[in-house]
Structures are given as C-alpha cells and as structure tokens.
Amino acid sequence: MDLPDLTSDCANCAGLCCVGLSFQKGDDFAIDKASGTPCPNLDRTHRCKIHTTLHKDGFEGCIKFDCAGAGQRVTQMRFNGESWQDSPELLFAMMRDFENLRPLHERMIQLKEAGLNTLSEPLETERLALIARSARVWADSDTLKARYDRFLTDLAQTASS
C-alpha cells in the first residue's frame, strides 16, 4: 500500500506548526502565540533559531509535537514547495490544509499500529480500507470519521473479549 511519509521532515516543510498552531504560556511554552502568527523563533528558512536549546528556553511543547508528516506533505505536494513567507497569500490555505491533514496522518499511524495485532478478517479488511481512503483524501469527512470510530469500537470489543 502506497502511504505518505508519516514521520515529520521539518527540512521539507514551511514551518507550518510554527505558524499554524497556537501556544499558551505555561509548562510547555515560554510565550503566548496565536494561530496564524509566526513563532518569533522561526527564521526565514523555516528553521527554529533555538532548536538546540528548546528545552532550556521553555519550549518543551515543540519537542513533544510531531505533525506525523502532514507539514511536509502540505508544503511539497499541495504547494509545490512554496512558502507562506515568500507568498503571504498562501498562509491561510496552507494552515487550513495542515489542520485538515494532520488528523488523517495521525489516524493512519494508529491504523498501521493496529495492524501489528492479529485482527479478524473483517477488521483487517476495514483497517486496510481506512488506511487507503485516509491516504487519498486531503480533509476528513463525517463519513470517514464515523467509519474510523466504528473500527475503533469494534477493535476495542474484540480486544476485551
């Protein structure tokens, strides 16, 4: 099955988590930052200026975060490697696509991990169908989410019996 890369590759991303996500000052972040506002630690090449000192500088949340490959997929496949820094009019669309794609990538990781278990034939068939569908779409749908939730419910019932 042809899946997108489900691991973060910051070198091929336009810093979408650094601009698209909000931060709240506290244990995980040293500052408050609104969604859509670039992190002040982000440089013009989409690299973190304090990457080697994130923990010391109070950005533990950045260390913990993993986009599951959604950032580079949006940047490279949807926007052909273009950046919101060079073309500010792309910012809203890039943030929207990142927000839409990230849950699908997280779901594909969970579905891959579910395959490490011995599943009944119907569950395995549905797992593979869900992975294939999630890999082809750029945004979730109520129908796909309901199928995924039903799969998890069926998986939990199987595990508890």
Q: What is the pLDDT of residues 18-54, one digit of tens each?
A: 999 999 999 999 999 999 999 999 998 889 999 999 9
In a domain, 5, yes or no: no
Q: How many domains does the chain have?
A: 1
In a domain, 133, yes or no: yes
Query: How is residue 95 written in tokens?
Result: 């943030």
In a domain, 1, yes or no: no
pLDDT of residue 158: 87
In a domain, 39, yes or no: yes
Q: How far apart are CA 79 and CA 83, in angstroms?
A: 8
pLDDT of residue 143: 96
In a domain, 2, yes or no: no
Domain of residue 117, residue span: 10-160
In a domain, 32, yes or no: yes
In a domain, 113, yes or no: yes
Q: How far apart are CA 61 and CA 50, in angstroms?
A: 13
pLDDT in tens, 83-141: 999 999 999 999 999 999 999 999 999 999 999 999 999 999 999 999 999 999 999 99
Q: How far apart are CA 28 and CA 56, in angstroms?
A: 11
pLDDT of residue 2: 81
pLDDT of residue 161: 73
In a domain, 55, yes or no: yes
